[in-house]
Chain A
Amino acid sequence: MNKITEQLLRSISDWNGEFKGAYNIREDGECAGRQSSENIIIESKKDAPGLVITIKPGTKGERVYIPACVTHSGIDDLVYNDFYVGEGADVVIVAGCGVHSTDEEAARHNGIHRFFIEKNAAVVYEEKHIGTGTSNGIRKIDPVTDITLGENAKLTMDTVQLSGVDFTSRLTRGVLEKGAKLIIRERIMTDGNEQAKTDFEVALKGENSGVDLVSRSVAKGNSYQEYRSCIKGQNRCTGHSECDAILVGNGKVSASPQLIAENCDAELIHEAAIGKIAGEQILKLRTLGLTEEEAEQKIISGFLK
């Protein structure tokens, strides 16, 4: 494993020289380290680049790490990872991706993750994305996340992308069976000429299924962000989506939330707010002794926490 990978790992996961438990480290399209545990088996996918991660039914309190790093320009990494989470398991999956550009060529990672979460299982999925390197090479991360939640299963998806990725196009799709819950917390900050697109499609298929989707973003400089969500209520269910964006400088944000109710007992709500930082917020923090710049920075870091 090279030094850049180590630096990226520290930024995108709680790497401190080692991972405890099951892990697979992907470096420039190759495997830089792998370990399965008794309950979490990581194997290479047979028909495509990527992994099959099988978490045994009833596995509790374990963490599995599957970070991917691109450490130089000229790499276009495509990976397919499938997660099979057995009935009643309760685990944390730490993904995350770092791309580092070194010259004029692009550095790209495209991770296609499929989650099959069985009945009564609960998963926390953490995904942090970062771009580093000072060259002009474009840094791209384009994740696709496909989620199938079985009866009373729960997935909490926590995604963060705060700096250095020139282009990102995210697609997250979910299908929820009876009583399943999907909680999504997304935070994106763009600056300079960066562009980020995020797209959610959630089908609330089963009775009493529910999704709570909160996307917070900050668009600085001349950056551009696009948010699209479509929540489809196909049964008695609850759907909530919230898209809040702060504009700084010439940042631009487009938000297109969509709610489709196909059942009269579907309760779907969307909230959206886009604007610059409220002047009153800056004034309040200045009365506490912060400068205008410090106040702005605190408001943004709190908003994206």
Chain B
Amino acid sequence: MLRLENISWKLEDGRGILNDVSLEIPTGKLVVVTGPNGGGKTTLAKVVAGLITPDSGKIYLEDEDITSLDITERAKKGISYAFQQPVRFKGLTVRDLLELAAGEKLNRGHICDLLGKVGLCTNDYIDREVNASLSGGEIKRIEIATVLARNTKLSIFDEPEAGIDLWSFSGLVDVFGELKNKIKGTLLIISHQERILEIADEIVVIADGKVRTKGTAEDILPQLLSGEKAKCCERSC
């Protein structure tokens, strides 16, 4: 279980991005964090992965206080983070990156399995450099595959839909749906997409740096959808 207690973080100009956030993410669930842009979702994910150090508050992974651990130490404890905007590397190939993620040499069959899960054909990609020649959708899938290769307790995906065309996105939803059934650990996905919200076990809505609401997808999703309809209605009026 991942537990956040009273997490706060503000920008240098004093603007609060996370304001006293407390949250529990149960083990083995697919939890989707959603909410308006600028609400603090990505910051929250980065705080969990160790990319941002909170000004105050505590983070526990399976009851162990990991607040003071750095990115590498948290990765070794079993936290994985798929970047919203994946990083490109001149020279490192897809195979290199997957092997770094797995922490060992991988045989072709294993790589084929990982790339297959994100809908990529191994022959076309295994020796490709993870550089600017890859499209947004391709690099996003490779980014997700690096997290799958780690097979950790907690996998965080920051807006997997960002930068992906509709056609590719449809395939990704299937990937997460399948992962939900296969993966042993917890999946934490930051997303705005209704189709990802639909496959969630639980939904957390973050807005203005706070948890606005949270609960099972069954309870929260209808509220979100009706809220959106109400907003549309207000606009048209």
Chain A positions near chain B (C-beta within 8 angstroms): 216, 244, 278, 280-281, 283-292, 298-299, 302-305
Which B residues lie within 8 Å of A286 (CB)? 70-72, 75
Can you report 6 A-B residue pairs in the complex whose CB atoms are below 8 A from each other? Answer: A216-B91, A281-B87, A287-B49, A288-B103, A289-B150, A302-B91
User: Whose C-beta in chain A lies nearest to the C-beta of B70?
Assistant: A286
Number of B interface residues, CB 8 Å? 24
Which A residues lie within 8 Å of B100 (CB)? 285, 288, 290, 298
Distance to closest chain A CB from B120 (angstroms): 19
Distance to closest chain A CB from B71 (angstroms): 4
Interface 9-residue window, one of B76-84, B109-117, B189-197: B76-84
A304/B75 in contact, CB under 8 A = no
Which A residues lie within 8 Å of B146 (CB)? 288
**CB-based closest 8 A-B pairs:** A302-B91, A302-B92, A303-B91, A289-B75, A286-B71, A284-B87, A280-B87, A288-B101
B72/A244 in contact, CB under 8 A = no
Distance to closest chain A CB from B22 (angstroms): 24
Chain B's interface: helix, strand, loop or mixed, by majority? mixed
Which A residues lie within 8 Å of B51 (CB)? 283, 287
Q: Taking each of B91, B101, B103, which has the highest tally of chain A beta carbons within 10 Å of its own beta carbon?
A: B91
Which B residues lie within 8 Å of A278 (CB)? 87
With A285-B100, A298-B100, A302-B96 in contact, is A291–B89 under 8 Å at CB?
no
C-beta contact mask, B4-48 vs A, less than 8 Å → 1, else 0? 000000000000000000000000000000000000000000000
Give Cα A289 to B101, complex, Å: 7
A287/B91 in contact, CB under 8 A = no
Give Cα A250 to B122, complex, Å: 40
Which B residues lie within 8 Å of A303 (CB)? 89-91
User: Whose C-beta in chain B lies nearest to the C-beta of A292?
Assistant: B72
Distance to closest chain A CB from B72 (angstroms): 5
Q: Apart from A281-B89, A289-B75, what 18 extra A-B contacts exist at CB < 8 Å?
A: A216-B90, A216-B91, A281-B87, A283-B51, A284-B83, A284-B86, A285-B100, A287-B51, A287-B75, A288-B100, A288-B101, A288-B103, A288-B146, A289-B103, A291-B72, A298-B100, A302-B89, A303-B91
Which B residues lie within 8 Å of A299 (CB)? 89, 91-92
User: Whose C-beta in chain B lies nearest to the C-beta of A278?
Assistant: B87
A216, A280, A281, A289: the one contacting B72 at CB < 8 Å is A289
Distance to closest chain B CB from A92 (angstroms): 20
Distance to closest chain B CB from A149 (angstroms): 27
User: Whose C-beta in chain B lies nearest to the C-beta of A288?
Assistant: B101
User: Whose C-beta in chain A lies nearest to the C-beta of B77?
Assistant: A289
A298/B92 in contact, CB under 8 A = yes
Q: Taking each of B51, B100, B101, B150, which has the highest tally of chain A beta carbons within 10 Å of its own beta carbon?
A: B100
Which A residues lie within 8 Å of B86 (CB)? 284
Give Cα A216 to B87, complex, Å: 19
Which A residues lie within 8 Å of B103 (CB)? 288-289
Give Cα A283 to B50, complex, Å: 10
User: Whose C-beta in chain B lies nearest to the C-beta of A187?
Assistant: B91
Give Cα A303 to B76, complex, Å: 25
Which A residues lie within 8 Å of B91 (CB)? 216, 299, 302-305
Q: Taking each of A285, A290, A304, which has the highest tally of chain B beta carbons within 10 Å of its own beta carbon?
A: A285
Give Cα A162 to B75, complex, Å: 31
C-beta contact mask, B125-143 vs A, less than 8 Å → 1, else 0? 0000000000000000000
Give Cα A304 to B91, complex, Å: 7
B71, B89, B90, B93: the one contacting A287 at CB < 8 Å is B71
Which B residues lie within 8 Å of A285 (CB)? 100
Which A residues lie within 8 Å of B93 (CB)? 302
Give Cα A289 to B69, complex, Å: 12
Give Cα A278 to B90, complex, Å: 11
Distance to closest chain B CB from A174 (angstroms): 25
Distance to closest chain B CB from A135 (angstroms): 33
Which B residues lie within 8 Å of A280 (CB)? 83, 87
Distance to closest chain A CB from B174 (angstroms): 25
Give Cα A166 to B194, complex, Å: 61
Give Cα A304 to B79, complex, Å: 30
Q: Taking each of B51, B70, B81, B87, which has the highest tally of chain A beta carbons within 10 Å of its own beta carbon?
A: B87
Which B residues lie within 8 Å of A289 (CB)? 72, 75-76, 103, 150
Give Cα A201 to B170, complex, Å: 50
Give Cα A305 to B86, complex, Å: 22
Which B residues lie within 8 Å of A244 (CB)? 90
Which B residues lie within 8 Å of A288 (CB)? 75, 80, 100-101, 103, 146, 150
Which A residues lie within 8 Å of B75 (CB)? 286-289
Distance to closest chain B CB from A288 (angstroms): 5
Give Cα A286 to B80, complex, Å: 10
Which A residues lie within 8 Å of B92 (CB)? 298-299, 302
